[in-house]
A and B are shown apart, each in its own frame.
Chain A
């Protein structure tokens, strides 16, 4: 009794969800500026890299631990910096960052990343 009910219920729910997701994806593709899409692609790459390192650390080895910390911190740090850049160059946030021009935001991002990578490579070996 419960089985058929739940299954009959779940199939419309899942179709609703997939419809919602595809709607969301379409509106993202249509309404997001290409610049932000580009940043999002980079963020996705960083998340993938961080997740892979974490999985390797948990499943295989955390030795040498400093290398794990360096690699993982580089992913996290780069993600934070890139996400900040995305927030500052987003035209919808223009009112929030009146004094920060997109050029200035990118310069901050570049300087922060270079400092981050300096520490990461120092800590890696």
Chain B
């Protein structure tokens, strides 16, 4: 019995551990791709503690979800040319995974696949099929579709990554603010059919029209992330080759090694929630000089609002207080923000952001609203509802100096009435002459 219960406890502890570490990854790998060709990328993931499970697109097991519950924390879809999948992988099911906090890393290709229409749902506009990215610069021995792409700086990436090799499709970015551009196409690149010159006339006429209808230039993305409202992340990479060992080892035209290995590691770290992951631990609010949140505030109260924010540290797998946000704002809203103020970090108190402000001269149901959304970072949202009431009847000053003439008027009338009554009654007794003279 004791043995059984201890085994049960161990089992529970293990389950809890596997939930907490969130490191199970399903890799949907196309049969045409050899797992060994991506050993640097997959090996790097396993080294960082991920459990990789491989599966072909048409395999029915292991299933991505059981009864709507995701079986894996992250899914890598390296099947850029696959047109048909097993029943459990559809664009709808992948979107469902994202809303269940599963993260996706998806490789696209110039071919038209179900993933092409999925990318369109995330506001990525893909060029016509079979038009990969082409660049003739810089001069090199590789074909024009194999391009060294310079890496611009981004908070997601390690600074100073050398150019990386890229083969695949580019995409234009829609207007969704949830998009996180990670890698842009080189300025001199364009999307066209590389096998024939059939497009060349169209390209020339499009460039003469000022680039209208031209899939070209650095406004196009090659690797683009997307963060959903529930903070799950998805990355669309224009080609699968950039993850390969071959590209990680292929020398750049300048002779140095490319940044592919580092780049894909950084991208995987972001999409698997290892970095730029923040959360609000707690918020509290109270009047100045008090420590407990009151049941309700009175108009013009001085209010202190405090937020505690942590960032996830992947090296220790713990949440640590984070004071690095310098543009956090607090709003005190009743339909409109009546007060919008910066919420600065408190020096010497890590992870604490505090502001003191005066409640507006307006009563009603107010909300403390924290809404911090920055590209690449987890969204921070918090809303606390508090009532703000006018002063109670005994909280006003009773007599105001501005009203003294009115007080004097009322008092003098009363005093006059008493004097009048007294003299009137006295006059009755003593005779009319006397009180007449008094009245004058």
A contacts, CB < 8 Å to B: 33-35, 37-38, 41-42, 45-46, 49-50, 52-53, 56, 60-61, 63-64, 67-68, 70-72, 74-75, 78, 82, 106, 110, 113, 117, 120-121, 124-125
Contacts and interface: CB of A to CB of B under 8 A. Distances in A.
24 contacts: A34-B433, A34-B436, A34-B439, A35-B432, A38-B423, A42-B439, A45-B416, A49-B412, A53-B406, A56-B405, A60-B402, A63-B403, A64-B402, A67-B407, A71-B407, A71-B410, A78-B416, A110-B421, A113-B421, A117-B410, A117-B417, A120-B413, A121-B414, A124-B406
B398 A50 contact: no
Given A42-B416, A46-B413, A49-B413, A70 B406 contact: yes
Contacts of A63: 400, 402-403
Contacts of A106: 421, 424-425
Contacts of A37: 436, 439-440
B436 A78 contact: no
A54 to B, nearest CB: 10
Nearest to A49: B409
Contacts of A60: 402, 405
Contacts of A52: 405, 409
B139 to A, nearest CB: 83
Contacts of B435: 34-35, 38
B399 interface: yes
B413 A34 contact: no
Contacts of B150: none
B399 A71 contact: no
Interface string B274-318: 000000000000000000000000000000000000000000000
Contact of B439 (A38, A64, A70, A82): A38
Contact of A61 (B402, B407, B432, B436): B402
Contacts of B398: 125
A124 B407 CA distance: 7
B84 to A, nearest CB: 79
A94 to B, nearest CB: 17
Given A33-B432, A37-B439, A106-B424, A75 B407 contact: no
B45 to A, nearest CB: 72
A71 B423 CA distance: 24
B19 interface: no
A25 B420 CA distance: 23
Counting chain B residues whose Cβ lies within 8 A of the other chain, the interface size class is 20 to 34
B410 A124 contact: yes
B401 to A, nearest CB: 11
Interface of B: 398-400, 402-403, 405-410, 412-414, 416-417, 420-421, 423-425, 427, 432-433, 435-436, 438-440
A100 B99 CA distance: 90
Contact of A78 (B413, B423, B432): B413
| Most A C-beta atoms less than 10 A away, residue of B402, B403, B409, B412 | B409
A71 B405 contact: yes
| Most A C-beta atoms less than 10 A away, residue of B398, B410, B435, B436 | B410
B427 to A, nearest CB: 7
Contact of A53 (B405, B417, B439): B405
Given A46-B413, A120-B413, 20 more contacts: A33-B432, A34-B432, A35-B436, A38-B420, A38-B423, A38-B427, A42-B439, A49-B412, A49-B413, A50-B409, A63-B403, A70-B410, A71-B409, A74-B410, A74-B413, A78-B413, A82-B420, A106-B425, A113-B417, A124-B407
B124 to A, nearest CB: 62
A53 B409 contact: yes
A3 B413 CA distance: 48
A60 B433 CA distance: 42
Contacts of B432: 33-35
Nearest to B416: A45
Contacts of B402: 60-61, 63-64
Closest 6 CB pairs of A and B: A34-B436, A71-B406, A38-B439, A67-B403, A71-B409, A67-B406
A98 to B, nearest CB: 21
B416 to A, nearest CB: 6
Nearest to A68: B406
Contacts of B433: 34
B133 to A, nearest CB: 73
Nearest to B435: A38
A88 B410 CA distance: 25
A3 B341 CA distance: 72
Contacts of B406: 53, 56, 67-68, 70-72, 124
A112 to B, nearest CB: 10
| Most B C-beta atoms less than 10 A away, residue of A71, A72, A113, A121 | A71
Nearest to A55: B405
Contacts of B436: 34-35, 37-38
A102 to B, nearest CB: 9
Nearest to B409: A71
B403 A38 contact: no
A70 B412 CA distance: 13
